Amino acid sequence: MTSSTAADYIEDVSPGSGALPPRARYASSDAKSLSLNGSWRLRVSATADAEDDSFAEEGYDAGDWAEVTVPGHWVLQGHGSPIYTNHLYPFPVDPPHVPTENPTGDHLRVFGLPPEWPSDGGAVLRFDGVESCARVWLNGTDIGEFKGSRLPHEFAVGHLLKPSGNVLAVRVHQWSAGSYLEDQDQWWLPGIFRDVTLLHRPPGSALDFFVHASYDHTSGEGTLRVDSDVDGRITVPALDIDVAAGESVTVPVQPWTAETPYLYDGLLTTQGERVPLRIGFRTVELSDGLIKVNGKAVLFKGVNRHEWHPEKGRALDLETMREDVLLMKRHNINAVRTSHYPPHPAFLDLCDEYGLWVIDECDLETHGFTEQAWRDNPVDDDRWTPALLDRAARMVERDKNHPSIVIWSLGNEAGTGRGLTAMAEWIHGRDRSRLVHYEGDINCRDTDVYSRMYASHAEVEHIGRELDGGTHKRRRLPFILCEYGHAMGNGPGGLADYQRLFESYDRLQGGFIWEWIDHGIKDERYGFAYGGDFGEELHDGNFVCDGLLFPDRVPSPGLVEFKKVIEPVSIDGSDGSVRVTNKHDFSDLSAFAFQWSYQVDGETVESGPLTVPPLAPGESADVKLPAPPVDSDGAESQWTVRASLAADTAWAPAGHVIGWGQIPVVARPLPYVSATAGPVLGERRITLGPASFDARTGELKSIGAVDVTGLRLDVWRATTDNDDGASWQTDIRYGLLWRKFGLHRMRHRLDGVELSGDALTVRTRVAPAAWEIGLATVYRWTSDGARLRLTVSVAPEGDWTFPLPRLGVRFGLDASADRVRWFGGGPGEGYPDTKSASLPGRWEATVDGLQTPYVRPQENGARADVRWAELGGLRIEGNPEFWFTARRWTTEQLDAAGHRTDLSPGATVWVNLDHGQHGIGSQSCGPGPLPQYFLNAEPTEFSFVFTETPDIS
């Protein structure tokens, strides 16, 4: 006979016991509430049965326990360590069992009621988020236990309260049966990480209510009905509405959209409570095979958002959530998928207020079962269905009154099964005003949207052209990429190519970048730590750092690129006019001001306003530009036209740039050097114009007074996360291939140094050990006496079956070289498939400022389309335009670094002048670069002109 223990509930597949039915959550009412956030006492045990329950009794002395902050995770407050896995469970897969080694945190809080706390009615104790399983006692009474980490749970406790000395005890287990449903590519972080609140429930207060606010785009009218579990009245002063709960009323309204988030203030008044309402009128439907809101198809320009703070983990405060929303709006993002769980409810309030389309995703993922071909997957096991339905209900009931939510998602990467079907059926039955999504439902049996992850550009176009086949139902559904553009490290590449497809085919209704923020943990050893830095026996390294924001919420180049790619106003043109297109779904352009500027050699010489009509969504207009304000005298010149906010908005100030375009006027004149000064051979040196070379090797030593070190052909870059690819991918992973063929250890053989009448020619062969492939490389130096020209000719030898990482020259300058000025793309980095946001102009930065601080160091910082650059007393002009990189460590040191703290400045500034760079792609999880961005090994010639110039440092 098997004996039971007090902790049997941990491995019970049920959602728990004692909690009240789920209901709508609202930010406030006139009923009293008491936050129980703050300092709690904590005792952590190694196992679930290590301690008895006596700590929950009144009078227990916890004076020697540690103090922690709630909301918070105890492993981020000095008690244990976090664990990161992508999809592998960090415990044996034996559902529903979990290890005996199960860190358990006993939390204790003693509190009194405020003097004004009412004596009538009841009270509810609410937990908004606890990972992963909790048992709760109040004043020694066991009131229940629950699972569902990122979902609310409430308990009736009015009968247990006393004016002072209330003892709230919560036992939290890191692992439980619920952990099998929460394998969500994130840090495993136990604790009470969302708010704990005591709510007074007066007699006659609302138990639950459902705001139905639809919009008829043909009549411009909205219909409001608020269903309430108790009698009450609904008032909306701005609409002159005063009706009983449950009654419908139709009036003219301003609709809610993500572009125009118009909210009406209302009030639900019952016998015992007044609940403020924020009402947005909008109708979501599947019509003509498209997702439509208020009668119009929408294009999602979205991101996936895990909740993250580099010090507090998933314990986010309101201002951090607001910062996320403001950053999204300021970068033209219009949608967010709450991967892979419902967010803190305040985040949804902000989405309502500022305007974001939301896919609200259930707290469900069982990805680790893929390792056993989905055998024993809980979503296809009837024993787990009550837990799945509980999770679906707690999401829908909590969040149902948010107009920003247009789609419910069943979860993520949980295979398929009867439990998911049951969830979909329940959601469809409960809320017919929204659509249902689940990417794993490949035939769309239970869902209203065809959804995929990381499909290639070619496949996406195939789907857009309705050539993908599939079931009859699926062929009639709209398509979204619920994840694409994997933003890990340098990248993602190819976003502009995806966007062109989205805008070309109606069926393609956009997608969601994976993901919003790097989940680096602030750490004095590493700067930001990632998987494996805490001694985990099983981890997935820096795969947790795959966001458009760095952990400190500084935008990465990927976010800047995305902003440009999805800008809601496109600007292009030629021949003295500019074509402006409104890419909004609902708004005209009346909120924008347009300005032109005119550049000569990258420098703005004049600017002024440009009158653009308030184009309706989808409309275009050709607008005449003024006559060029100056004669460029043959220098390169162009117009730049910017669209910016004409007035302050809730999310950005007037002048905030929304989009821009550049129109060329005069093409760039290529640099020319007449070979009038010939090389002169000395005892140890060759001189040519301002330059000095080693007489034996032909190596450049100086240009005027500027010392130059080690100039030679360079083909290696510190591989990016996207170069290295993901371990499960079957496509070629070029980072591994480059290392296999030794491109990181190329040898340089000198074949000859030749002096002719006007040139110094150095012939070399650059090749890796162990392979027959190589690059025959010729450096030809000429001068006009003041300037020095280098022409590099490269001819591949052998069978090059793969592209090069980079192709150019590298050299060193003295560490005193600090400031850089250039005319080219900027202000940030750009690569062949990530340079849409790279604006040609004159820019200036320090060498340190050129670096992009990826959490795991890798190739970064290249400025694209550079015409000329000045650094360390040299001016460098390219023919053709080139990529410019400068850093205080070698590529090899960068390549070897695991964290930012591994990099230390040296005595040399290393400069790369690249004729070409291989594309970036997003193969860290998605597809690699498109073929047009490959840097193929083929005969190539390029040149640079060097001139000594005053050092700007």
Active-site option among 182, 285, 413, 859: 413
**CA-to-CA separations, 383 to 15, 343, 377, 664, in angstroms, rounded:** 11, 27, 11, 66
Buried b (16+ CB within 10 A) or exposed e, 139-149: beeebbbbbbb
Tell me the pairing of strands 940-948 and 874-887: antiparallel
Cα–Cα distance measured from residue 134 to residue 10, given in angstroms and rounded to the nearest whole number: 9
Single out the catalytic residue among 273, 285, 361, 483.
483
Is 459 among the catalytic positions?
A: no
In the block, residue with structure tokens 């390792």 = 371
Q: Rounded to whole angstroms, how far apart are CA atoms 161 and 165?
A: 9
How would DSSP label each residue in 781-815? EEE-SSEEEEEEEEEEES---S--SEEEEEEEEET
Give Dmax over CA atoms of the chain in angstroms: 104
> What are the distances in angstroms from CA 283 to CA 241, 349, 410?
20, 19, 21
Helix and strand numbers, DSSP H then E, in the chain: 11, 61
Q: Residue 387 is inside which H or E element, if any? A: helix 385-399
Q: How far apart are the first and last CA of the chain?
A: 81
Among candidates 485, 555, 552, which has minimal Cα distance to 520? 552
Length of the chain: 953
Q: How far is CA 719 from the centre of its chain?
A: 21
3-state secondary structure 591-626: CEEEEEEEEECCEEEEEEEECCCCCCCCCEEEEECC
Cα separation, 712 vs 706, in Å, equals 17
Cβ-proximal residues to 905 (8 Å cutoff; 6+ apart), any chain: 815, 888, 889
**Residue 483 annotated among the catalytic residues of the structure:** yes
**203 vs 593: CA distance, rounded Å:** 54
Q: Is 73 helix (H, G, I), strand (E, B) or coil?
A: coil
H/E stretch holding 341 reads: none
Q: Could you tell me the two tokens for 863?
A: 């400025």
User: Which residues 6+ apart lie within 8 Å of 672 measured at CB?
Assistant: none
Please, what is the angle between helix 345-354 and helix 318-330, to 10°?
A: 40
**Residue 247 is which amino acid?**
E
CA nearest to 267, candidates 241, 229, 231: 241
Residue 126 CB neighbours (<10 A) = 19
Closest-CA residue to 570 (of 582, 558, 584, 560): 582
Round to whole Å and give the CA distance between 186 and 519.
8
Using CB atoms within 10 Å of the CB of residue 653, give its burial: 0 to 12 exposed, 13 to 18 middle, 19+ buried: exposed
State how far the Cα of 526 lies from the Cα of 523, in Å rounded to an integer.
6
- Give the active site residues: 413, 483
